[in-house]
Amino acid sequence: MSDTLLADANLRLEKALRDVTISQDAIERLTHPKASLSIAIPVRMDDGSLRVFPGYRVRYDDSRGPTKGGVRFHPNVSIDEVQSLAFWMTFKCAVLNLPFGGAKGGVTVNPKALSKLELERLSRGYVDAIADFIGTDVDILAPDVYTNAMIMGWMMDEYSIIRRQFSPGVVTGKPIAMGGSLGRETATAMGAFFVIQSVWAQQTRSPGETSIAIQGFGNAGAILADLLFHAGYKIVAVSDSQGGIYAKQGLDIPSVRHLKESSRKLKAVYCEDSVCSSVDHQVITNADLLALDVDILIPAALENQITAENADRIQANHIFEVANGPIASSADTTLEAKNIQVFPDILVNAGGVTVSYFEWVQNRSGFYWTLEDVNDRLQTKMVEETAKIQRSPKNSPSPSELPRMFTP
């Protein structure tokens, strides 16, 4: 693997350029971020002490419009990580034909170690430091790892205070009461579901005959598992950071979600009301899940889960990347040799940025859509762009031919 994440991302760009013809000028621009900002954020802690946290914001490319990208709070955030994520956001927005360029931001912090008031001071301090770097028509923030609607609300409010005017369009993923969009919290999972449905409509195997393993049972993975389960697919394995469960006959996903939400544990159960009964299952590791003999593998957890070291163990015929960068470039050659079809994250998990775009449009117009409107537009967008990317787009179903499932 390359020395830096950005260098590794550029290896993928070099490979993609073999199949397209663009000017050398455009290639040169795409290998360098347009602007990178490193900041120090002083935060007064609850005990009266002062701590300073490193923060970053990168606008990678704005050729298509204002840049767009999330803000993550995590102990491992670095300028290299933020630059590489901004790089991928550039291509994700282009893949979905959104009028945005790519950006990303982050703060090096363990948010779990902060009180709610400390977290608010940090969030507002971050915006104070980058206020001249962002804007509704310049760079738009969004939630990412360990940031949520509440934090986005603080950030939007702070920017509005600085600008002395209500500025909802500078941040997406906000609370509904502050100009957020319906459907934003489920957008990543819904978008991935629409991509899978679009692709699988061309397969001879029916959903009921299709086995799926999902690594990652957080917001995106759990909602996607639920959508696929209700669409008739056989979810045979799921996992979280502690490990996973496998049942060849398939898992009852609503019951697994119910138990996970109530006990924070993964277990194969069947629940009727509040009573859950254990069913036969096998406890497995995350590494075991990746190597299962299934039709579809969905990595929905962290980056670099499939590498040169374990790529030869992958048995799935299709991989849909719901996490950001779950497959390292070092694994590409092995997966290609095994004829495993990989549907990349810049398409599969682009539902989040697509609904963020819808939120931005609603903020600018002052006209807000229903949940059905949001999901209908999302489905149309995901299916259309999936068809364009596939080799035989004429075989892709139209949006009207796919089932509508708006309630996860």
Q: In whole angstroms, what is the distance from residue 237 CA to residue 1 CA?
A: 30
Specify if 353 maps to a domain.
Answer: no
Q: Which residues constitute the domain of residue 112? A: 33-178
Residue 275 has a pLDDT of 74
Residue 204 has a pLDDT of 86
Residue 37 has a pLDDT of 97
> What SS3 class is residue 43?
strand
Residue 404 has a pLDDT of 43
Beta bridge pairs of residue 212: 235, 296
Q: Which two tokens stand for residue 52?
A: 């300073």
Specify if 384 maps to a domain.
Answer: no
Look at residues 146, 178, 210 and tell me which one is the last residue of a structural domain.
178
Angle at 118 between CA 112 and CA 121, to 5 degrees: 130
Query: Which residues does the annotation mark as catalytic?
Result: 104
Rounded to 5 degrees, what are φ and ψ at 99? -80, 50
Specify if 356 maps to a domain.
Answer: no
Q: Which two tokens stand for residue 73?
A: 């709070």
Look at residues 153, 178, 203 and tell me which one is the last residue of a structural domain.
178
Residue 392 has a pLDDT of 45
Note whether 312 and 278 are same-domain residues: yes
| CATH number of the domain enclosing 255 | 3.40.50.720
Look at residues 178, 209, 231 and tell me which one is the last residue of a structural domain.
178
Residue 49 has a pLDDT of 98
Note whether 211 and 316 are same-domain residues: yes
To the nearest 10 degrees (0 to 180), the angle between helices 79-95 and 351-365 is 80
Residue 406 has a pLDDT of 39
Note whether 264 and 213 are same-domain residues: yes
Contact assessment for residue 79 and residue 7, using Cβ atoms and an 8 Å cutoff? no
Note whether 133 and 268 are same-domain residues: no
Number of domains into which the chain is organized? 2
Residue 396 has a pLDDT of 46
pLDDT tens digits in sequence order for the chain, 408 residues long: 456 778 888 888 888 888 888 888 988 888 899 999 999 999 999 999 999 999 999 999 999 999 999 999 999 999 999 999 999 999 999 999 999 999 999 999 999 999 999 999 999 999 999 999 999 999 999 999 899 999 999 999 999 999 999 999 999 999 999 999 999 999 999 999 999 999 999 888 899 999 999 999 988 999 999 999 999 999 999 999 889 999 999 999 999 998 888 877 888 787 777 777 778 889 999 999 999 999 999 999 988 899 999 999 999 999 999 998 899 888 999 999 999 999 999 999 999 999 999 999 999 999 999 999 999 999 999 999 999 887 544 444 444 444 444 333
Note whether 220 and 150 are same-domain residues: no
Output DSSP code: residue 85: H
